[in-house]
Structure 1
């Protein structure tokens, strides 16, 4: 094509000004509410996990008619049970989706949702509002329901109570008296964190593929061996690599994740207590101070989560 022909072919066509492509991309990201992800600071996460904010009053929840998505959704109940303090907004969005109200996404301290939960009676369901609150680091400090009815439905044990009433008379047979429970010595189980989490990680998103299965098997073992449970203590431990503050935060993060997985597997949350010991209670000592593959391997027994169960058979 000659120079004259090329000029003729492009006549009348308008091209974007230099740099306008970047402006359009930025505008699209703003409209979509997308912000580039960033790693979570372990110390900030530890502070968020330790926070105990007051539950919002009913009037702090926005009116449903103000929602962008007024229809609400039927949420994944297992995802709802995994929501915990210390999660970032990307993790909350992965479990619950985007919030349903126009409250902003970048610096919003509250995300609000409209959820429908089935009662177990045919197709009946109730509609509730759900709020996730964030701190200055945009990490969750708590999740709250407007009213207690939906919170009760979310508990695993609530499913049994929400069944249809029998249509025929039921003959009740009185069971024979059960023998008194036999107290058992405290049982301590040690879970190597190298088989649970990626190295240096402790959040739910850091679980290795077999990590969730190991904790579920532990919950089954506890229920099988203990007829009654008095308490379950979960203590996270780390090796000596890294600062004391870093290891303290990492150990409590790992203990909290194991606690949440046990609750999700059906263990009563009221029986569980999670804490972190950091690097203060090693079980092996290894020479060297430089982080080498051989030193990391030698210190592996120190990276663990200990679960101590007290109860009776």
Structure 2
């Protein structure tokens, strides 16, 4: 019994640490995407909820949810879903969330739906009203962080299957992009992608390798490394869907986009 109690206390402490770190990160981070708004008819009957009273959360917590997360990562942020949904096989998780309005003890009741792809990765979210979404994702008029607002059309560079080497055409396109956008003050987002063939972990790594190869070419063209934001998105956010994205050439790409500050 003492061992189980100590493990329980350790679990609560660890959970509290994750919550605190998550809130600090959310306060500084821009939302990476904007969820959908769905009609109430898309949500299950609240009478069938396991937590009909809903769950009170800081607004920053659901704001940390991003496409590509696993169910365990979502569970760590929001807890288990509220309508008997299981961990395996379920393509939708539904929550009843309560947010204080800032006026005494008044609060608004919101419905949130998480949608999972065939790999059980988060591919979409929907709120029950515009007011609920706006509470979690406020308009960024007064923010002074770097936002991915493109000053020029993004550049797409394509790759052969299971390869990360730039073709001659890709190198020419990249050089033309840099020449058309001179200066060393540009911040560039470099995001790699893959098609749907192969395991998720392998695709995540391959997408990052592709982004890294493009970044090295950008540095060779005179772009400071400190101006590059490099990431890999694996097979998530495909440019073209169909046949589950397997070996779709348009999905094997790296996107280069100019970002600007406020």
TM-score class normalised by the smaller sequence:
0.3 to 0.5
Which entry has the higher C-alpha Rg, 1 or 2? 1
Normalising by structure 2, we get a TM-score of 0.46
